[in-house]
A = this chain, B = another copy of it.
Amino acid sequence: MDAAEIESPKKRKIVETAYHLFKTRGFYATGVDLIMQTASVSKRTLYKYFPTKNELIVSVLNYYRAAYADYFNQILAQQDKSSRQKILNIFEDAEQWFEDINFHGCLAVNAMGEFSGKDRAIEDSCIRFKQWEIDMLTMLTRDITSRQSEELAYKLFVLLEGMSAIAQVAKGKCPVNMTAMADEMIKKYL
């Protein structure tokens, strides 16, 4: 659905390149010249597909969600696993991602930090991203507790977001097994 937004290979290359640059160098700090040179694309082509830099940023945020959705669908597809196991898999993966020295936090959180109150389309994209994340988790927690699925999903979401924020700033091994902590959380709702 969202991945279909990108038809042309050049357009896709621009978005992928911009995604990587925005993630590692920030949004304001990454100029269109750098994106264009890194993607080996002329400025004319870039502005053909994305009339403004901010529209490119919105596309990058949508691409980010689409990539995340691909990962999530892989998790959901494993029919031999329970929802509880799927959630724990997500936490295991997250612990690995976040301990990477090159982890730069959630792109939507970073974008909100730079564009809050400045660009409505970007803000909306960030808000929709977080809502989508909660919805995905709630899909899984519904199999654990139908009555309190939203509550449990939100608690797990807080853990994931906290891990991410801390990992972005304070590099270094996490002294807590977060997956085990999530499991304890889940157990109370079984």
Contacts of A25 in B (CB 8 A): 117-118
Interface string of A39-60 (1 = CB under 8 A from B): 0000000000000000000000
- Scoring A129, A154, A165 by chain B CB atoms within 10 A of each residue's CB, the highest score goes to A165
Secondary structure type dominating chain A contacts:
helix
A176 on interface, CB distance cutoff 8 Å: yes
Does B169 lie within 8 Å of A108, measured CB to CB? yes
**How many copies of the chain does the oligomer comprise?**
2
Taken together as a complex, chains A and B put the C-alpha atoms of A189 and B77 apart, in Å, by: 38
Choose, from A65-73, A80-88, A156-164, the stretch at the interface: A156-164
Does A109 lie within 8 Å of B165, measured CB to CB? yes
Shortest A134–chain B CB gap in Å is 8
Does B118 lie within 8 Å of A168, measured CB to CB? no
Q: Which residue of B126, B157, B170 is within 8 Å of A130 (Cβ)? A: B170
Q: Which residue of B104, B118, B165 is within 8 Å of A162 (Cβ)? A: B165
Interface string of A158-190 (1 = CB under 8 A from B): 111111111011110011101001000000000
* Size category, A interface: 35 or more
- Name the interface residues of A81-100: CB closer than 8 Å to any CB of B: none
Shortest A9–chain B CB gap in Å is 29
Contacts of A78 in B (CB 8 A): none
